Amino acid sequence: MIDEGKLSVALHNLAEPDETGPAPIDGLLQRGRRARFNRFTRTAGITMAVVAVAVGLAAVARPREPGPVPLALAAQTTQRATFQFEQTFSLKGPTGETIIPAGTPYQGAYDPVHDRGYRIQVMPGEPHLTTEERQIGDDCYSRNNPRDPWYLSSMSGQRWSGCWRLTDVAEGSALGISASPGDLLAELESAGQVSYAGRTNKGRHEVDTYRFTYRYALDAGPDDHRVLEKHGTVDIEVSTRRIIRLAYGSTDVTGDRDGRYLLAFSQELTLFGFGEPVVVKKPANIATR
């Protein structure tokens, strides 16, 4: 029988060094250097791959805009692609009375590159009052309800009486301002005094906001020289440098004797669906005014 003590001694004896040759130093150093080199190249390769991926991602990701997106640049960028929009209007009289309340919005789409677009206003519960306009270049097709024929007018001949009118109300029309998103964007491109109001939201949803106020002259007819003042705000999506919202008011500040034209008009335009196809077809059954 072997007891624990003897076993322990026997095990300890196993550890006694026996005859061994010298350590193969040269071989170990050779293998060690090679392993070290391989480890270095592997680490360097992984590091380079990581750096390459990081550089690639950085190149793909749009760098953060360091400063505000210039309004003129945003207006130009917005006019390079199609978009959908929603418009609401309201009109107030000289004493602040509401002539047209901000009601049912217009839904539409516009292709600034080919200068064509449409807008529809569907009155809730009253489909027979649905109005629609289609603009294809210089041609404007419009109808006041689905049972009417389409009427053709020229955009260049009587720019504000065809498509994109602000309102059918005579006083409003007298303001002579187009509600065409294309015209509004072009106007913003050369807007007068603008001031940067700051950046809100985060990441892809960052928005730069500008406030603007400027006056401009309008010839509304013989001996009827008007001065209008526009004031409002415009929101720019920083990541795409596009205008996504425009809200403005326009007031006749000519100071008319009887205050006939002292109207306050406001519009809110929201832009979305950039780059989606906009199809505007010439309608059948066209009547000439």
Judged by the rule CB under 8 A, the positions of this chain that interact with another protein are: 1-4, 7-8, 10-20, 22-25, 27-29, 31-33, 35-36, 39
Q: Which CB, 4 or 258, lies closer to another protein?
A: 4
To another protein, the closest distance from the beta carbon of 48 in angstroms equals: 20
Q: Which of 272, 270, 178, 164 is nearest to 218 (CA)?
A: 178
For the chain, percent helix, then strand, then coil, each to nearest 5? 25, 35, 40
In whole angstroms, what is the distance from residue 254 CA to residue 223 CA?
A: 13
Cα–Cα distance, 251 to 265 (Å, whole number): 6
Q: Which is nearer to another protein, 18 or 258 (CB)?
A: 18
Distance CA 193, CA 148 (A): 44
CB of residue 13 vs another protein: minimum separation in angstroms?
Answer: 6
Q: What is the C-alpha to C-alpha distance for residues 161 and 56, in angstroms, rounded to an integer?
A: 53
- Cβ at position 21, least distance to another protein in Å: 9
Closest distance to another protein from the beta carbon of 25 (Å) = 6
Between 7 and 53, name the residue whose CB sits nearer to another protein.
7
| Start-end of H helices in 149-244 | 170-174, 181-189
